[in-house]
Amino acid sequence: MSAFEIARPEIFLLIAACVVLLLDLFVGKNARVVTYLATQASLLTTALLIYSSSFNQEMKVVGLDRMYVLDELAGFLKISIVGFAMLSFIYARKYLRDQNLWRGEFFVLGMTSVLGMLIMSSGYNLLVLYLGLEVLSLSMYALVALHRDNGKAIEAAMKYFILGAVGSGMLLYGMSLLYGISGGLGVDHLSTFFNAQPANDVKVLFALTFIVAGLAFKLGAVPFHMWLPDVYQGAPTAVTLFLGSAPKVAAFALVMRILAEGLGSVEESWSQMLMVLGLLSIIVGNLFAVAQHNMKRMLAYSTISHMGFIIMGVITSSHIGYSAAMFYVVTYALMSAAAFALLILLSRTGYEAETLDDLKGLNERSPWLAFLVMLMMLSMMGFPLTVGFYSKLAVIQAVVGKELVWPAVIMVVMSVVGAFYYLRVLKLMYFEKPADNTTIDVGIDFYGVLSVNSLLLLGLGVFPGGLMALCSAVLSASQL
């Protein structure tokens, strides 16, 4: 394949972002729906190009001087990323109009961040992976600060930028150490080189420490989680929704490319480090979420605990564990998008819903919406017949399969502890009187998409086999 063919979706998306930027200059504020529709059309076309290029190949294709790869793993993750980005933009439309943030910058920055995520999914060279990460990060820094007149948003953006730069620096330093040790930056080169090296070599352990720390920053794993609650709370809810969905899939892609493919032969070293981070994330995330009264901060600590489960799936270094982790990250992004869409739904012009009190008596105001929220919370909790239950079960089974019984026990116990703050939401909705009797006014398109999103959490929980089989098949085709 030529250079243009192997990166055709990314090239198209870059051109489309430039076109949308120019288009936005010539449409008035009242006609900005044109920018929104152009963005969604561009993302849909990108998804079709990804499908045609990634799933019509009989084998893995490596090109651009062995710096870029096309395989089914990249195709599946990239289509998931684009799908979650489109879903986020559908939800964001109401919020942006209500909060006077209906600007083309949101969509252009969103498209450039998606571009970075696509590069992270197909990068086959550490430098390319890092460049993709920076394209994503720089776009997200600007998106968090989108509400320029809001002090919390600016504070969150500054924290995100400073701590994100620290994480990027640690990751880049680790990459430079790997280059010094192996003499190359290619994922396939690292895999070949470390197959012949002892896993407990001091130089390798030193490099892996920085690599794991940098990845943990991007995942929001303990103890590198300090930025996540503040950013989730301070950022505009539409930005938090976007940040909590598609970038999590991209972070998983980064972990798979660097650790599973490039450094899979030294997994004994990095899996021990990641196991500590994963268990700490599950414990700290669930315990700290109990004390939160701000819904966005509660969901932030919930995210930390969920990232811990995904990490625990990765540390098994097995096909079953990787499949469970991939299934978990995709379904978590679906749960997260629905949860933050709820806050957008309860917000209105001049008022932003973000506390647990905003959910009081929701069943009296809208029984159907309360039912959807119940599905979201039960799924995040891991209640049977929801997709969250199967996600956690699959990861715990993979961990037990590696004979890591005591970590599995900790995961089960902390899942029970975490049920408290999810059940508290249900108590507020069904057994408290409404603190606000304002009519919930929302378009049928938003309501319809949120309903489908929430019902999917139940449908995928009852019939999880299809998605799990797809995750397993994609990883098998990618030789993982």
Residue 140, pLDDT score: 93
Cis peptide before 223 (omega within 30 of 0): yes
With the CA atoms of 111, 113, 115 and 116 taken in that order, what torsion angle do they form, in degrees rounded to the nearest 10? 170
Q: How far is CA 370 from CA 87, 289, 377, 442, in A?
A: 21, 21, 10, 15
Phi, psi at 133, each rounded to 5°: -60, -40
Rounded to whole angstroms, the Cα distance separating 169 from 239 reads 24
Q: How many CA atoms lie within 13 A of 382 on its CB side?
A: 23
Q: Which residues of 51-63 are buried (b: 16+ CB within 10 A; e: fewer)?
A: bebbeeeeebbbb
Rounded to whole angstroms, the Cα distance separating 215 from 259 reads 10
Give the residue extent of every domain in the chain.
3-477
Q: Model pTM?
A: 0.93
Structure tokens at 106: 């949101």
- DSSP letters along 5-32, please? HHTHHHHHHHHHHHHHHHHHHHS-GGGT
- DSSP letters along 70-116, please? E-HHHHHHHHHHHHHHHHHHHHHHHHHHHTT---HHHHHHHHHHHHH
Per-residue pLDDT of the chain (480 residues; tens, 9 = 90+): 666 788 889 999 999 999 999 988 888 777 778 888 999 999 999 999 998 887 766 677 888 888 888 888 888 999 999 999 999 999 998 888 888 888 888 999 999 999 999 999 988 999 999 999 999 999 999 999 888 888 888 988 999 999 989 999 999 999 999 999 888 888 888 888 888 776 677 888 888 999 999 999 988 888 888 889 999 998 889 999 999 899 999 999 999 999 888 888 888 888 888 999 999 999 999 999 988 888 999 999 999 999 999 999 999 888 899 999 999 999 999 999 999 998 888 888 777 888 888 888 888 888 888 899 999 999 999 898 899 999 999 999 999 988 888 999 999 999 999 899 999 999 988 888 887 777 777 778 888 899 999 999 999 998 988 899 999 988 887 777
* Residue 476 CB coordination number (10 Å): 13
As separate numbers, helices (DSSP H) first and strands (DSSP E) second, the chain gives 21, 2
